[in-house]
Structures are given as structure tokens and as C-alpha cells.
Amino acid sequence: MSDYVLSCCSTVDLTPDLLASRNVPCVFFNYELDGEQCRDDFGKTNSPAELYAKMLAGAPARTSQVSVGEYEEHFKPILDEGHDILHVTLSSGISGSYQSALNAAADLKDQYPDRRIVVVDSLCASAGYGLFVDRLADKRDEGMGLDELAAWAEANRLRLQHWFFSTDLTFFVRGGRVSKAAGAVGGLLNICPLLTVTREGKLDTFEKIRTKKKAIRAALAKMHEYARDREGYDGKVFISNSECMDDARALADLIEADFAKVDGGVQIFDIGATIGCHTGPGTVALFFWGDERPM
């Protein structure tokens, strides 16, 4: 039985049941939708369908990171139970939550002098972040101690591959990820850019691809190129999607046909509100363990 608690944020984009089964508590991100404050709580406040319908109807959506105070309120009950904490955050290249968690840990140091809070920047996002935390839970259950697990996380986080595409660039344009001119041309030419998360944990375009069918094949090709042991890959594969389950399932079927040893088959999740406010509907993201990221 470990003497520390592995913790994360709701932006892992998994499910509450899965996190509970892995004994990983989470702190919730927040967002504002059409002027209303909401929690990114795995679709309980707004289901993905409700969120995207409101966004497509013109409702403004803005996200906010977890505050220092919210982190402190998340950490305190765990510390009160006599546990140390290893908290893994959403990528610092996407959110300032890593710094907020560090500040909360520093603020609580005097109040809990016999306890430790170690904060690790995942450099991952969405269910890639979730797959990373899931693997850390495996290592914890195998008996790895807090410091050893934190070191393992930092040494291996860039091996979590992220590849995703979107059939609708509207919200990428609104968020400044894609220029208005590129978005207009992309719409006319039916371009589905293939994006990745870089070594710095930032979102970047890898290549521009015409048609959704080719984008699905391009994501599959990246798994052939970068997956650990290539077609012999026997780890887990997670896919997250924003209201485009047919596209996610099409990619999953191709992966399961080419990678017969995938642990438990491809698992598909919803993109949560924090990431979804920036992607909008139509995004499919693929995550697996492999070589270090190419950029």
C-alpha cells in the first residue's frame, strides 16, 4: 500500500469511474459558457452534445485554469489523512495550472510540515494526459515510491504520442490556433490538419491533409511510425473525440486491425469541456506510447 496519493486534473478526459478504479482523485477545471460559470466535470454540467450545440449557436466559451485556492482545497483532505501527494498537471504549454499547483504546494508547506506535495508537468493533454496518468497508476501499484515515480514521469512523458485532426476549424480560428485566412482556405479545400503536441507540451500543426479519410489514415500512419515495438505494440491506446464518434471508431477499427496486441482494445473517450471549448466539434485525437516526440 503506497503512502502517497497520485492525483490529477479533470482535463485527463477519461471517466469518473475509470479514475475511481485507479484510485486517482482529480481537481476540476472551470469554464464559462454564455456567461455562466461551469465545471469541467466529465460532462455532468453540460454533455458534449449540449456544449457544442451552444457553441455552434454562438454562445461564447472561455476556459480558466485551476486556481491556487482550488488546488489547496483539493490537497488538504489528502494531507489531513496523512498522505503525501504526487500531482500531475495538464501540460504547461497549454495551461498555467502547473504553476498554480506549485504555488499551492508551497503555500501548504508550513501548514503541513511533515507532508510532501510533488508536482509534475505532464506535457500531455486530453486523454493523452489520461493515458499518462493511467500508466503512472500502474507503476504506483507495482510498488514504485513517490520520488521514483516522479522521476519516471519526467523521464518518460515525451514518449506519450499525441496525433489529432479536426474536420471543423471554426473554433481553432476563434482561439487563434489557425489564422482566419488559413481557416477559410482550409474550409474551401476540405483540409483536415494533422496536429501534435510538441516536446514543449504545446499544440502545433504537423501537416495539412485534404479530406477526413486521408486524415484518419495519416493518424494511423503515425502509429506505425512511432509506436513502441511498432506493429508489435502491446500497450494501451486511447482516443478522445468531440462529438464525432463515427470518425473515432473508424480510426480505432483500423488500429485494432493493424495492431493486434493492443492492451484491451482501443478505448474511446469524450474530449472534456476545457479542451473542447478550444477545438469545438469534429476533433479526433489518438494517444499511444512510443518514441520521443518528433518536434
CB 57 within 8 A of CB 40: no
3-state secondary structure of 22: coil
Give the model's pLDDT for residue 169. 66
Backbone angles phi, psi at 46, to 5 degrees: -135, 120
- Express each pLDDT in 196-234 by its tens digit: 999 999 988 888 898 999 999 999 999 999 999 999 999
pTM of this prediction? Answer: 0.94
Return the amino acid letter for 142: E
CB 269 within 8 A of CB 239: yes
What mean pLDDT is reported for the chain? 92
Indicate the pLDDT class of residue 156, thresholds 50, 70 and 90: very high
A 10 A CB-CB count for 118 gives: 17
Q: Name the strand (E) or helix (H) holding 96.
A: none
Query: How large is the average pLDDT for residues 173-183?
Result: 49
CB 14 within 8 A of CB 135: no
